[in-house]
Structure 1
Amino acid sequence: MGRVELPEDLGDGPFSVGQARAAGLRDGDLRALHRPTRAVRVAALPASLVERATAFAVALPPDAAFSHATAARLLGLPLPAALEAEVLLDVMRPTGRSRTRRAGCRGHRGLESREVVLCHGLRVVGGADTWCDLGELPCGSMTVDDLVVVADALLGPPHPLAVGTLSAALERRVRPRGRGALLDALTLARPGSRSPMETRARLMFVRAGFPEAEVNGVVRDANGGWLLEGDLVWRRQRVVGEYQGEAHADRRRRSSDAQRAGLARDEGWTVLELWAEDIWSPPRRRTTLRGFAAALGLDPGTLRIQ
């Protein structure tokens, strides 16, 4: 597309065709600009979700807000890959208004019963209501574990909500789809998790019948000195499970982790590593669970190791 010199009062962001005409742009100028949605123009093609949503917001009515998977992504909540890659933007309006019908959008109604917050300068359905909306997505979109991952994220920074806030949001719904899955997720949600895979690691042990671990618990030496903060801590048994994600792949980080684990072992702790494959691969999962069972002094026959 050809370059158009934009009037200063249009700024660098998206603007409506009406604003463009009022600023003196001609039809040829408008055709040379990017058209993210009907009646909106922008100099540079929107690349990120925030840029796309900002462009669409120019054309949306003032009573609309982004919802469902779009809201979750704008709020920084972790979603399954299929929803992270969703192209359509979810837009919600009050029940008494017509659904948004615009290419690139999926319209919803019911905004009057949801909290709306500002995120990236955009009107977005709040975290607790978005969690409920995710549970109402078509069957298969979000598993119970996916909903727990989102709930755990909402219970910590930068949000952070209380379990009671999620529960209250669900109770305000009238016969919501997915209520059973949301209630199950609510009983499994815990504050303290710092990543989706930490949550999934915790759930792996819960589903296998292990005693519940402390999340990101501090381990100290005999004199009260700080040794490490374990992702999963079974304090009575003095066992720590450390999930090793991409952040731990750096050689210097691996060296630091090994040194801290060695100090903890000197104090009588058992430190076991966990990897993504230990959670996703059934053979690796079974081996991992048996290894932790042995460290915790549990009889594998009493557990649900699958």
Structure 2
Amino acid sequence: MTTEHPDLRRRPVRDISTRGSPRATLLDAQLSSAELRRARGHGQLRRLAHGLYTSPDHLLEEDSAALETLHALTSGSDRLVSHATAAVLQDMRPGRLDAPFHLTSPRAGSRVRRPGLVVGHRTDVPEQFTTETLGLPATHPAWTFVDLCPQLNGLLDAVTLADQMLRAPRPEFGERGSQLTSPEQLEAAVAARTASPGVRLARNAAHLARERVDSPRETELRLAILRAGLPEPSVNIRVRDEQGRTLFQPDLAFEDLRVAVQYDGHHHSDPQQVERDVARAEIAMAHGWIEVRLTNRHRAAGWQAAIRKIVDALRAHGWRPDGRIRRL
């Protein structure tokens, strides 16, 4: 009678489960090269890129392969996800998380050499500007903002991004979470990057950025108002009555002059929204405010039509220009 012995070369490797890891890490975990090959053959490991592997159970959702690859690239190292990759990871900019991935290593650290997969950067990032996002080591959003500035399309683009980062989600709109950074963190990140490319743009944008800005159009309009030499309006403040009850919340407000500016986007054509807008205007008028309502057609020629309407309202409440035009 012949006794059959199992072919151990075909047997699955037991209990293989790993998040994105480099080959060296798997071999350090007491896997042999042969076992690693068997694990791949049995589908217990999936190759992400040359020398990078993960368990299939970590590849169930959109972008999961990219996350696993980033985990493998940063695991056991001092590398940080940075630049455009960190911006997508942290919802600073829209887009898919995809190669080539941007990674920052310390100046004295090892250089990442993976053409097509990694864009490597070398700089020393202070600990206060590092964070963890989705389990990955990354540059803090404030630091990432400075990294992005050389690729942004001028001051408006930079201030729009900074405004978005400073905006806290609004529960009344069903939003959750927290703001990506604070004005203080943004200013500190700029101050720490004196010799970085794009730092001048970052500095100017951080100076002009404001909290509570709800849309890029509000940023664009606010900068046009400043360029025209008008007083700086407050952003999305709550106008209250003498009992402290909220009356309305304008997009922009010249509080001392009681002039409110509302930018009506496409959603304001909804009949129910129109009713709310009319009721808000009536409340504003009843409490001595002038409401300036603007639409997309007022954007033409650098918001010139909008500026004329705002100036007329400000003058009606006693404002007089000083003749200065700000250069932003």
Q: Quick one: distance in 2 between partners of 1:42 and 1:249?
A: 50
Cα deviation 1:191-226 (Å, max 9, x = unaligned)? 332333322221221122211001111123465432
1:96 aligns to 2:96 (yes or no): no
Q: State whether residues 116 and 126 of structure 1, in contact with CA within 8 Å, keep that contact through their aligned partners in structure 2.
A: yes
1:113 aligns to 2:126 (yes or no): yes
Please state how far the C-alpha of 1:293 moved relative to its aligned partner: 1.4
Corresponding letter in the other structure for 1:60: T
Call closer, same or farther: CA 1:55–1:247 in 2, change over 3 Å.
farther
Cα deviation 1:252-271 (Å, max 9, x = unaligned)? 34432332232222323222
Q: Quick one: distance in 1 between partners of 2:37 and 2:54?
A: 13
Which residues of structure 2 form unaligned runs of 5+?
Answer: 1-11, 169-177
Q: Quick one: distance in 2 between partners of 1:201 and 1:108?
A: 36
Q: 1:241: which partner in 2?
A: 261
**CA RMSD between the two structures:** 3.8
Q: 1:282: which partner in 2?
A: 301
TM-score with structure 1 length normalisation? 0.76
Q: State whether residues 64 and 93 of structure 1, in contact with CA within 8 Å, keep that contact through their aligned partners in structure 2.
A: yes
Q: 2:191: which partner in 1?
A: 171
Q: State whether residues 16 and 39 of structure 2, in contact with CA within 8 Å, keep that contact through their aligned partners in structure 1.
A: no
Which residues of structure 1 form unaligned runs of 5+?
Answer: none
Corresponding letter in the other structure for 2:158: L
Q: Percent of aligned positions with the same letter in both sequences?
A: 26
Corresponding letter in the other structure for 2:113: R
Corresponding letter in the other structure for 2:147: D
Q: Quick one: distance in 2 between partners of 1:54 and 1:15?
A: 8
Q: 2:159: which partner in 1?
A: 148
Corresponding letter in the other structure for 1:57: H
Q: Say which SS state the counterpart of residue 187 (structure 1) adopts.
A: helix
Q: How many correspondences in the alignment? A: 289
Q: State whether residues 68 and 130 of structure 1, in contact with CA within 8 Å, keep that contact through their aligned partners in structure 2.
A: yes
Q: State whether residues 264 and 295 of structure 2, in contact with CA within 8 Å, keep that contact through their aligned partners in structure 1.
A: yes
1:1-306 maps to which residues of 2 (within 5 A)?
10=17, 18=26, 22=36, 25-27=39-41, 29=43, 36-38=48-50, 39-41=52-54, 43=56, 44=59, 47-48=62-63, 52-61=66-75, 62-77=77-92, 79=93, 88-102=100-114, 103-113=116-126, 115-135=129-149, 137-138=150-151, 141-157=152-168, 158-159=178-179, 161-221=181-241, 224-245=244-265, 248=268, 250-275=270-295, 278-279=298-299, 281-282=300-301, 285-297=303-315, 302=323
Call closer, same or farther: CA 1:250–1:53 in 2, change over 3 Å.
farther
Q: Quick one: distance in 1 between partners of 2:296 and 2:62?
A: 30
Q: Quick one: distance in 1 between partners of 2:295 and 2:324?
A: 21
Q: 2:6: which partner in 1?
A: none
Q: Quick one: distance in 2 between partners of 1:269 and 1:173?
A: 44
Q: Quick one: distance in 2 between partners of 1:219 and 1:149?
A: 25
Q: Say which SS state the counterpart of residue 210 (structure 1) adopts.
A: coil
Please state how far the C-alpha of 1:186 moved relative to its aligned partner: 2.7
Call closer, same or farther: CA 1:223–1:301 in 2, change over 3 Å.
same
Call closer, same or farther: CA 1:29–1:74 in 2, change over 3 Å.
closer
